[in-house]
Structure 1
């Protein structure tokens, strides 16, 4: 393997710096939100996201598999978090009437109360740590970049790399 082959396996230093900074900033943002929610509302950010998705769904209930897909995490991770939320009385779990394999999760009144109490905390943090640091032009540019990344991820979800249907980008 020549030096060029080895080099092509790694990101260029300037690009790697951008990637590393992106990861660092997003992890720190997640850490701040998670810590504040735990300190003030005794729930994690993931648990908050579960409560939000349930509150936004019909009859405040969803199948566990749909919930995992909506918060973009493994079913086992959602099961763990839902078990914790159930122990706190914030959600109820029950078997699906039509499908014995399916499990439904329903937001309880106590869950709605916890969500409503935590929402101002999240909104304050999103403003303080994220939105207030951007001017209108930066926010528009970030929205454009996020749209580009989202579209790219959607394409990879449809045609994963290494999957027989994956098509290499057209060089033209």
Structure 2
């Protein structure tokens, strides 16, 4: 199935249905994960992702700008979430010693403990709602599609096309 006429202002109905379903599924999955984390662990999915990235970082710390890039969100959104995590005692902020412009975020022992408590909950939910119903062929096909989309996004990030809206 192709998208059809790219010059057209609208997607073909069958393609639009696929796009709409994709958006609904991804938003619903995100909503379930976010709700489960908030109810069971008192953090949002974005906050969980920040804790994961910090745990994986060298010395469990990252520059704020690198953290924003790694979770693909605006620096202001990361600043807001880091402030919330800091208020909970799950991360600490430090000025960068090298250039005094950057801010480092470091995972605290309490943050690592919260992450370790939340991870099994999220992994079981992702398996239940997303992975368990995929067979090996479907998983391989999904991986191929995701790779294609990721490559397209990478290319767009390297060479953004600025076209006026119609």
Q: TM-score, normalised by structure 2?
A: 0.93
Aligned counterparts of 1:151 and 1:65: Cα–Cα separation in 2: 22
Aligned partner of 1:82 in structure 2 is: 82
SS at match of 1:133: coil
Aligned counterparts of 1:133 and 1:81: Cα–Cα separation in 2: 33
C-alpha distance after superposition, 1:40-94 (max 9, x if no partner) = 0000000000000000010000000000000000000000000000000000001
Aligned counterparts of 2:119 and 2:33: Cα–Cα separation in 1: 11
Aligned counterparts of 2:114 and 2:78: Cα–Cα separation in 1: 18
Aligned counterparts of 2:86 and 2:28: Cα–Cα separation in 1: 28
RMSD: 1.3
Aligned counterparts of 2:154 and 2:38: Cα–Cα separation in 1: 32
Per-residue deviation at 1:132? 0.6
Aligned counterparts of 2:76 and 2:31: Cα–Cα separation in 1: 21
For structure 1, the 5+ residue unaligned runs are 164-172
Aligned counterparts of 2:104 and 2:147: Cα–Cα separation in 1: 32
Q: Write out the 4+ residue segments of structure 1 that deviate beyond 3 Å after TM superposition.
A: none
Equivalence map 1:71-150=2 (5 Å): 71-150=71-150
Aligned counterparts of 2:72 and 2:8: Cα–Cα separation in 1: 30
Equivalence map 1:48-87=2 (5 Å): 48-87=48-87
Aligned counterparts of 1:8 and 1:66: Cα–Cα separation in 2: 38
For structure 2, the 5+ residue unaligned runs are none
Aligned partner of 1:170 in structure 2 is: none
